[in-house]
Amino acid sequence: MNNPSQRFPSHVVAVSLLCVALGAAPVRGQTQTPGEDRASVPLSDPSQPALVKASLINGGITVKAYDGKEIIVEAHARNHDRESARSDSNMKRIVVSSTGLSVEEENNEVRINSDSYMRPIDLTISVPVHTSLKLSAVNDGNIVVTGVDGELDVNDVNGSVTLNNVSGSAIAHALNGRLLATFTHVNQKPMAFSSLNGDIDVTFPADLKANLSLKSDRGEIFTDFDVQMQAAPVQQTVEDGRAHGGKYLVKIDKAVHGTINGGGPELQFTNFNGSIYIRKAGAPR
């Protein structure tokens, strides 16, 4: 953690909405509407792709590409509009609507979070098209990404993940929700998609070249690609703990393997209580 008394170099931009409450001057592009905060952060080198990292304990994250050079972050605090439980007085409830938003930029890497851990905060982030993302959410919110071209690392524990018309590569996990993705173009890089309690539904361009690793314990696997199934060598893991009073254990991987259009980077699909759909763009539904 940086010492607050240290001075950031000129290429570092830090924004904390807590400063508003303490009387500091608002940062350019920042509003003071109760429950809503906004920050526009310039990149150190707008000619180069950016990396945006955002994480929330409670709330959802929406990222959309736009024709601009700054990272624009909007935070909205959810409040339950209800009457006070006190029925005996003229007292009014004071709504706690601070987002606790913090945005920091250094060398084209932008880190976004909120210190409001219990109250849900929804983030809407506008980024240049060529931006890589590392997004995580835990409770009470979904993650949606639209139109971004980059390397995407997305993880939602108790919500769904949706990637709309994205390009590049992705590692995406939705533990207790649905994972839906549509790619307009893919890089020649490995990708992984997983869910524990939701369907995985991914659409790729028709010219996709890939090696597939597929596993679904309690669901089915469907595709309209011409997949050449392979008798892959059995992969097993041996654990021998007998020297310490333990057991001898052999684990055999139960994934099935295949190739699309002659093969390419490995694409892993792993599910437990859901089905897997691998769709070809333009194929009839």
Where residue 84 falls among pLDDT bands split at 50, 70, 90?
A: very low
Identify which of 14, 54, 39, 36 has the alpha carbon closest to the alpha carbon of residue 98: 36
Mean pLDDT for all residues in the chain: 83
Highest mean pLDDT among 78-92, 198-212, 214-228: 198-212
Where residue 237 falls among pLDDT bands split at 50, 70, 90?
A: low
| pLDDT tens readout for residues 65-76 | 999 999 999 999
pLDDT reported for residue 2: 47
Residues 39-61, mean pLDDT to the nearest whole number: 96
Domain positions in the chain are: 12-79+90-127
Q: Whole-prediction pTM value? A: 0.79
pLDDT above 70 covers a percentage of the chain that reads 76
Model confidence at 51: pLDDT above 80 = yes
| pLDDT tens readout for residues 131-163 | 999 999 999 999 999 999 999 999 999 999 999
